[in-house]
Amino acid sequence: MKTLIHVLVMLLPLAALAKPAAAADYAPINCSIASAESDKTVCNNYVLGQMEARTATLFEVVTSLVAMGQRGAIQDDQRAFIDLRNKCKSDVACLRDVYAARINQLENALDDVRSRGPF
């Protein structure tokens, strides 16, 4: 866990420099205007809110560091994640599982970047 945090801290400055147009495809939930049942559930649950923030951060970092082809696949996976998340509606356990799976996918993608880079 500490290693992942160190990698994220080291990669965040790079993410700020590399602003791919596609990074805007996924924005964290704006709880002040959330209308979907799943969004409202995330906004009203601390753990899910933290998972949402982690997912959004990982998505931004990873899409900033990968090549265009892989970025497209990650964006497609993000849209599929959002569809799955929305199907959970207000089921907290379902949402937790969907978020955990997506975070795992994004962490694996980040590990892949780290394994190939001079970090």
Residue range 8-62, pLDDT digits in tens: 445 554 444 444 433 345 668 899 999 999 999 999 999 999 999 999 999 999 9
Range of the domain at 39: 2-116
The structural domain count of the chain equals 1
Sign, CA torsion 35/56/53/27: negative
Classify 73 in phi/psi space as left (phi over 0), alpha (psi -120 to 50) or beta: alpha
Find the mean pLDDT for residues 63-85. Answer: 94
Query: Distance between the two ends of the chain, CA-based, in angstroms?
Result: 17
Rounded CA gap, 118 and 80, in Å? 32
The stretches of 32-67 forming alpha helices (DSSP H) are 37-43, 46-65
